[in-house]
Structure 1
Amino acid sequence: MPFLALLRNSLIVSAGAALLSVALGASMAYAFARYRFPGRRLGLFGLLLGVLLPPVALMVPLYLLLSALGIRTTLFGLTLVYTSFAMPFCIWNMRAAFQAVALELEESAFLDGASPWVTFWRITLPLALPAIAVAGLIAFLIGYSEFAMGWLFVDKAQNVTLAMAISGMVQSSYLDSWANLAALALMMSLPVVVIFLAAQRYLINRLLLGPVES
């Protein structure tokens, strides 16, 4: 597989895992932060257990589930695998961010006639955006750098990610030059560095100044 094809697979899987983790986890995190309902503590404990469990503990359930759905050997299936790894951390991280937003701000929006969705979208979400961005970045890194579990869900060369390819080179006789391997690993790190540099100034400004714009 050429480098660009491997990089494309890695970006598709990791970006998809980050988007799904943030999109699905934000609503769940907000519910855990703001509402009281039966099973809330048990649900939080289950998510915490998901963070503490090693990924290998989820291999068999995910294998059976994705095989039953017929998507085990696809990039979408691999995206769901990495999403399941990242979501517990993202939910706990975003829950803490939503709890840090003053409840009085939301109550003021309700008094002004805003709906719960508008309040969440226009008030709570912008204030918690730095923590949400960090959660998305962690989810991206999980999908971008993981290689051990991926082999269980990939059986075609065109679905191999960059991290899996580097791991396969180390473990096989294909590796004929450590310089080539080092260059490939360095090129793999470039997208992460670019994303961090692009978001660094924005995140720092958000953390220091907040979401208020002039």
Structure 2
Amino acid sequence: VLDRPYQSVHFTTLLKNSLVVSLGAALLALVLGASLAYAFARFRFPGRKPGLFILLLTAVIPPIAFATPLYIVLSILQIRTSLLGLTIVYAVFAIPFCIWNMRAAFQSVPRELEEAAFLDGAGYLSTFRYVTLPLALPSIAIAALISFLMAYSEFAIGWLFVDKAQTVTLSMAIYAMVQSGNAQPWSILGSLVVIMSIPVILVFVIFQRTLLERMLFGALDT
């Protein structure tokens, strides 16, 4: 069934699975990544520098190296073959990038603005939400975009966890068809590739202004 997912699963299901997993992974990576990035940017605590080094190390290690522990953990939680399991896996891979990207953005926010908010009676959460986050929005958008694209295009790790056609994503289906070679109809393969590219184009159109703002911000910052 997994060798020819297009025969057992409609392409809308494949696209839906890809979008659910990708958007969920991006959202989860942003929430956890923003919290940890702010902590690394603003607070001093024991193990801070080793923690940053470990995050950098996990970002450069191939994802396949974490496949076995993730497989065991998700099997224990009984979510290995579900979309939730795939979402968690892809979010884990995206979190280190989100932390490093957003940490730099939070560090660029002047502390004086946060201190002024504290003097006005705002707490850490309110200051983070209404002062820091809006100023770091371009970097947050970039982190969301990269996290989405990482999860949307990934297929190798997914094959290690998925064993049901109903949880196959669009990228996994395309990979399976390419691997089958001439056994698959190339017209269907081409159609799936075009369908898969549509959300990516829409995402870039939506984030185009934010990307330009981020490039301008980086140029002015240097």
Query: TM-score when scaled to structure 1?
Result: 0.93
| Conserved 8 A contact 1:130-1:207 | no
Which residue of 195, 199, 207 corresponds with 1:199? 207
**Amino acid across the alignment from 1:43:** G
Residues paired across the two proteins, number: 209
Which residue of 6, 9, 15 corresponds with 1:7? 15
Deviations 1:59-110 (A, max 9, x none): 1110011011111111000100101110001111000110011111111111
Which residue of 111, 118, 134 corresponds with 1:110? 118
| Conserved 8 A contact 2:14-2:169 | yes
In the alignment, the residues of structure 1 paired with residue 200 and residue 212 of structure 2 have an alpha-carbon distance, to the nearest angstrom, of 17
**Amino acid across the alignment from 1:144:** Y
Alignment correspondent of 1:91: 99
Is 2:129 the partner of 1:124? no
| Conserved 8 A contact 2:141-2:210 | no
1:49-64 pair list within 5 angstroms: 49-64=57-72
Alignment correspondent of 1:65: 73
Larger mean CA deviation between 176-185 and 92-101 belongs to 176-185
Is 2:197 the partner of 1:189? yes
Larger mean CA deviation between 135-144 and 172-181 belongs to 172-181
**Amino acid across the alignment from 2:23:** A
- Matched position secondary structure for 1:149: helix
Please, which runs of 5 or more residues in structure 1 have no aligned partner? 210-214
Larger mean CA deviation between 84-93 and 180-189 belongs to 180-189
Is 2:40 the partner of 1:32? yes
**Amino acid across the alignment from 1:172:** S
Over aligned residue pairs, what C-alpha RMSD do you find?
A: 1.6
In the alignment, the residues of structure 1 paired with residue 163 and residue 144 of structure 2 have an alpha-carbon distance, to the nearest angstrom, of 28
| Conserved 8 A contact 2:138-2:213 | no
Alignment correspondent of 2:220: none
In the alignment, the residues of structure 1 paired with residue 160 and residue 210 of structure 2 have an alpha-carbon distance, to the nearest angstrom, of 38
Which residue of 143, 149, 152 corresponds with 1:141? 149
Is 2:179 the partner of 1:171? yes
Query: TM-score when scaled to structure 2?
Result: 0.89
In the alignment, the residues of structure 1 paired with residue 39 and residue 190 of structure 2 have an alpha-carbon distance, to the nearest angstrom, of 45
Which residue of 165, 176, 181 corresponds with 1:157? 165
Deviations 1:117-168 (A, max 9, x none): 1111000000001101100111101110000110111010000000000000
**Amino acid across the alignment from 2:50:** L
Please, which runs of 5 or more residues in structure 2 have no aligned partner? 1-8, 218-222
Identity of aligned residues (%): 62
- Matched position secondary structure for 2:156: coil
Which residue of 72, 87, 101 corresponds with 1:79? 87
Larger mean CA deviation between 45-54 and 109-118 belongs to 109-118
In the alignment, the residues of structure 1 paired with residue 213 and residue 121 of structure 2 have an alpha-carbon distance, to the nearest angstrom, of 30
